[in-house]
Structure 1
Amino acid sequence: MDSTPHWRLILNGKSAGDDAVRAAVTGMREAGVWLEVRVTWEGGDAQRYVAEAVADGVDAVIAGGGDGTLNEVASALAHCDAPAERLPALAVIPLGTANDFATAANIPVKPGDALRLLHTPAVPIDLLKVEANGRSHWVVNLASGGFGTQVTAETNEGLKKLLGGLAYVLTGLSRLGQIQPQQARMRGPGADWEGGFIALGIGNGRQAGGGQVLCPDAWVDDGLLDVTIVLPLQGEVLSAVGAAMPDGKNAMLEQVAVRKAVPWVEIEAAQPFTLNLDGEPVKSARFRIECVPGRIRMHLPADCPLRRNAATVGP
């Protein structure tokens, strides 16, 4: 039986000319890995390439790009009618502007180092399944709404290329006087909340929008989604933020947010609003989000901060 690793890199077309990626692929091939490359050009390419990889029985598919590319590849795997153990494992080469999931997971930035993670065992990870407007969407990292989503959607592409994650910060600062709370009700097991929020994070991962940490206690392998509801910054809330600032971001978040860990949550709003699902904006007045435990397998660092049991790497 041939024991040669069989991998397929699904590379975002924007990174097709990346010399470091080309060198990393060449290095792996010289080391005896059967590594093929498919470049995306238009919508639907990633889904088609994943379907081909599944049919060809490859060992792993690698998302070469940012959070959006990672989501496309992971979503295509999750939509397959097969359990995680019968699907190719997932890996990522972080090549986007923010790379929020890869950053939080401590996945190496250098393509060669990222590819070497595939020599370690893949582990089961959860995905979030979002139902809205009669459709199902899958989320690897984070569903976010409110101010953060608006900032991400309105950040200029040229500014992102020039400044990277700092572009999101600058765009956010320019809009601070225009924040309007979104009214909604959320319910889940042991959780019922209603009111106005300026930002919302529902995490499998911990950060979005170029480093905004909305779900600092989220794990990718605990069967739960982490919900953070950031309240309007007025009066007593602003005073609490000021008092917590010396203790860091997590302390500030405790003062300004309602936080829960639940297996599912339903959100209803009087007016439709937008949730950003790993970069894909979806607008609806009603969302149902559930955590699907162990839906896919992924190659992650042994000490990955997003794994609850990072010290234990299973087969």
Structure 2
Amino acid sequence: MSHWARNAVIVANERAGSAFSVPVADVAEACQRLVGEVGVVRTAYPGHARTLAAKAVRDGVDAVVAVGGDGTVGEVAGGIVAAGETVAARSGLVGPALFCVPAGTGNSFYKEVWHDRPWREALAAAFTGARPRLRRLDLARVAQTRDIVLLGACSGLVAEALETAAGLSRISGRARYQQAVAETLRDFAPHPARVVVDGEVVHDGSVILAAVGGGRYRGGGFLLLPHSVLDDALLDVCVVTGDLDPLELPGLTREGRHLERPEVLYRRGRRVEIERTDGAPLTFEWDGEVKCGRTRYTLDILPAVLPVLAPAAESV
């Protein structure tokens, strides 16, 4: 049986939401059967995964395996893209392929690419064969911070629920985020915001959330952007206005039925701006990491910049 990868680096965040359920040693052992040479590096602080992934790119590895949640995978993707742009400019070579082992709270990115396939089975499928099976995915960039966004970003309910999830250490995986949404809804209030897509104001008023992506799922099981495609060079935007009862939203988003409601707007574009209009800081997140302190965030599309290992049917 042939294996295309000569070497790979595992970037592990052992502080992710459910990382204890996927021991790094098990991932390394599985990789060693599929890859010629395997290295393991562990994150020590927020943002470290990006630095470690960028070093792996400069070292010329064939693949980077991220072990952690969506935040960790987003950092790794950012490191691959940023360092890959430099390497490509110098040598014309494309950066290493990304694979992620789901070991976080929502694991939405893994679900996007591999659905609910067990990670060991997906890993074997990704690394077995004479050539890699790749999808070149779009990313977004936050204009204000220059951060890379892998899966998507969201204001309001989703961001506040992520803050709640940080305190639910006794619950792991998708159940942790689902419980966090339920708890957040107890005292949740919409906020005033303006949403602009490619220069057009699509909503100016009360907002429960404004989601931008990227991926279809958030929190592993909430289908916020059901029409989103990871490689169509567009950002999907869903605005849930304050006219909807927030308590209805979790049930509606299980199967994307929120789009049937007149209180919900859906658009696509290449640049999206979300601004809180009462002067208070906007609670905002991307790839599962909550950001505060700004009233406005702008996201721009970065088409086809990230090579990701994917099932054979989705190869390009």
Could you state the TM-score of these two structures normalised by the residue count of structure 1? 0.82
For structure 1, which runs of at least 5 residues remain unmatched after alignment?
A: 304-309
Q: Which amino acid aligns with 2:107?
A: N
- Whether 1:97 aligns to 2:98 is no
Match in the other structure for 1:201: 211
After alignment, is 221-230 or 12-21 more displaced?
12-21
- Whether 1:192 aligns to 2:204 is no
- Whether 1:269 aligns to 2:281 is no
Q: Which amino acid aligns with 1:10?
A: V
Could you state the TM-score of these two structures normalised by the residue count of structure 2? 0.82
Match in the other structure for 2:302: 292
- Report matched runs for 1:1-315 at 5 Å: 5-14=6-15, 21-31=24-34, 33-80=36-83, 81-82=85-86, 83=88, 85-106=93-114, 110-116=118-124, 117-119=126-128, 120-132=132-144, 135-157=145-167, 159-189=168-198, 191-193=200-202, 194-234=204-244, 249-255=255-261, 256-270=263-277, 271=279, 272-283=281-292, 284-303=294-313, 310=314, 313-314=315-316
Q: 1:89 to 1:32 in 2, by over 3 A?
A: closer
Q: 1:179 to 1:53 in 2, by over 3 A?
A: same
Structure 1 residue 198: deviation in Å? 0.4
Secondary structure of the residue aligned to 1:281 is strand
Q: Which amino acid aligns with 1:45?
A: H
Q: 1:248 to 1:123 in 2, by over 3 A?
A: closer
Q: 1:296 to 1:163 in 2, by over 3 A?
A: closer
Q: Which amino acid aligns with 2:36?
A: V
Q: 1:19 to 1:79 in 2, by over 3 A?
A: closer
Cα-Cα RMSD: 2.9
Q: Across the two proteins, how many residue pairs are aligned to each other?
A: 295
Structure 1 residue 18: deviation in Å? 6.3
Q: Deviations over 1:249-285 (max 9, x none)?
A: 3233330310001111122322220211112222321
Distance, in Å, in 2 between the alignment partners of 1:32 and 1:186 is 46
How high is the sequence identity, in percent, across the aligned residues? Answer: 27
Structure 1 residue 32: deviation in Å? 5.2
Structure 1 residue 232: deviation in Å? 1.6
Q: Which amino acid aligns with 1:166?
A: A
